[in-house]
Amino acid sequence: MLKEKTIVLGVSGGIAAYKAVELLRLFVKAGAEVFVVMTKSACEFVTPLTFQTLSGNPVHTELFNLYQEREIGHISLADRADLVVVAPATANIIGKVAGGLADDLLSTTLMATKAPVLFVPAMNVNMYENPLYRANQEKLAGFGYHFLEPVTGYLACGWEGKGKMPEPSAVLEQALRLLSPQDLAGETLLVTAGPTREELDPVRYLSNYSSGKMGYAIARAAYQRGARVILVSGPAALPVPCGVELVKVVSAVQMRETVMDRLAEATVVIKSAAVADYRPAVRCGQKIKKGPAEQLDLALEKNPDILAELGERKMTQLLVGFAAETADLVENARKKLESKNLDLIVANDVSRSDAGFDVDTNAVRLLYRDGSSEELPLLSKSEVAWQLLDRIARLRKPTA
Among 22, 277, 383, 390, binds ligand PMT (CB under 6 A): 277
Q: Phi/psi at 234 (nearest 5 deg)?
A: -75, 180
- Taking the alpha carbons of 263, 381, 5, 24 in that order, is the dihedral positive or negative? positive
Site string for ligand PMT, 81-110 (x = CB under 6 A): ------------------------------
Does the footprint of ligand PMT cover residue 164 (CB under 6 A)? no
Among 110, 306, 363, 392, binds ligand PMT (CB under 6 A): 306
> 71-83: string of b/e by CB count within 10 Å (b at 16+)?
ebeeeebbebbbb
Per CB under 6 A, 176 contacts ligand PMT? no
Give min distance, CB of 222 to ligand PMT, in A. 16
In whole angstroms, what is the distance from residue 24 CA to residue 54 CA?
A: 7
- Count of beta carbons in the 10 Å neighbourhood of residue 110: 26
First to last CA, the chain: 23
Part of the chain binding ligand PMT (CB under 6 A), chosen from 15-23, 96-104, 208-216, 284-292: 208-216
Please, which residue, 120 or 324, has the CB nearer to ligand PMT? 324
CB of 175 to ligand PMT, least distance (A): 25
Q: What is d(CA 13, CA 122) in angstroms, rounded to the nearest whole number?
A: 10
Residues belonging to the chain: 400
Using an 8 Å Cβ cutoff, are 174 and 242 in contact? yes
Q: Which helix (H) or strand (E) holds 346?
A: strand 344-349
Region of 83-91, 160-168, 173-181, 298-306 interacting with ligand PMT (CB under 6 A)? 298-306
How many C-beta atoms surround the C-beta of residue 398 within 10 A? 7
Select the residue interacting with ligand PMT from 34, 115, 178, 350 (CB under 6 A).
350
| Residue 128 vs 216, nearer CB to ligand PMT | 216
Q: Which amino acid is it at 141? A: A
In angstroms, rounded to a whole number, what is the distance separating the alpha carbons of residues 123 and 89? Answer: 8
Contacts of ligand PMT in 246-275 (CB under 6 A): 252, 271-275
Active site residue 157: yes
Q: Does 214 bind ligand PMT (CB under 6 A)?
A: yes
221 is a site residue for ligand PMT (CB under 6 A): no
Q: Say which DSSP state 315 is in.
A: S
Using CB under 6 A as the binding rule, whether residue 218 contacts ligand PMT is answered as no
| 382 makes contact with ligand PMT (CB under 6 A) | no
| Residue numbers at the binding site for ligand PMT (CB under 6 A) | 194, 210-214, 252, 271-275, 277, 303, 305-307, 321-324, 336, 348, 350, 356-358
Q: Which residues are catalytic?
A: 157
